[in-house]
């Protein structure tokens, strides 16, 4: 029964839309405020300093495009794999700072405000739930309600006339 629920096409579609929307939303403030996001990335003390600006500028655009692709059903498995990989990296970065360094940082997930609420373990739990959604999409996607499928049907109807 659990496998049937987990592989349900509507669950996959809901997860695609929710996870895609979350990443689109998360990217917007970072794109608008790259300097503040670079400061947040710096506070994690994981990346070498010469990569921080490139990361702070590039990551939000990757999140935006991947989120839009997931919502639109474009390259679903690849996009779900990319977002799942990012969530694993985020979880590792949060874990290092919370459990090994004892720091409770602003994650920079949805706001670049340096005075934003610090979430620690709650943030890690949220990322693991999102990771589960990404993996469900990756393993159980059935190409339902996607833009490529819509266009294939549309063009086949046009060509058959």
> When comparing pLDDT for 70 and 122, which is higher?
70
Q: Average pLDDT for residues 130-143, to the nearest whole number?
A: 91
d(CA 110, CA 23): 9
- Residue 131: per-residue pLDDT: 97
Q: What value does the mean pLDDT take over residues 114-137? A: 84
Query: Is the whole-model pTM more than 0.75?
Result: yes
pLDDT of residue 119: 72
User: Is residue 125 a contact partner of residue 94, using CB atoms and an 8 Å limit?
Assistant: no
Domain ranges of the chain: 2-160
CA 44 to chain centre: 19
Q: Which two structure tokens, joined as six digits, stand for 158?
A: 């046009």
pLDDT digits (tens, 9 = 90+) for 57-116: 999 999 999 999 999 999 999 999 999 999 999 999 989 988 888 877 777 787 777 656
Structure tokens at 111: 């706001």
Stretch 47-61: mean pLDDT:
96
Between 16 and 6, the more confident residue is: 16
CA distance 6 to 9: 9
Q: Which residues of 110-125 are buried (b: 16+ CB within 10 A; e: fewer)?
A: ebbeeeeeebbeebbe
pLDDT category, 54, cuts 50, 70, 90? very high
118 pLDDT more than 70: no
């Amino acid at each position: 029964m659990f496998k049937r629920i987990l592989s349900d096409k509507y669950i996959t579609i809901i997860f695609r839309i929710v996870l895609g929307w979350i990443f689109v939303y998360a990217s917007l403030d970072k794109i608008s405020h790259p300097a503040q996001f670079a400061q947040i990335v710096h506070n994690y003390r994981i990346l070498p300093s010469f990569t921080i600006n490139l990361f702070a500028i590039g990551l939000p655009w990757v999140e935006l495009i991947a989120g839009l692709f997931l919502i639109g059903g474009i390259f679903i498995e690849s996009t779900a794999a990319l977002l799942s990989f990012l969530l694993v990296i985020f979880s590792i970065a949060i874990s290092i700072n919370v459990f090994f360094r004892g720091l409770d940082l602003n994650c920079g997930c949805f706001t670049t405000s340096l005075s934003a609420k610090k979430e620690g373990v709650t943030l890690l739990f949220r990322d693991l739930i999102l990771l589960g959604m990404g993996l469900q999409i990756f393993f159980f996607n059935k190409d339902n309600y996607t833009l490529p499928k819509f266009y294939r049907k549309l063009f086949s109807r046009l060509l058959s006339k």
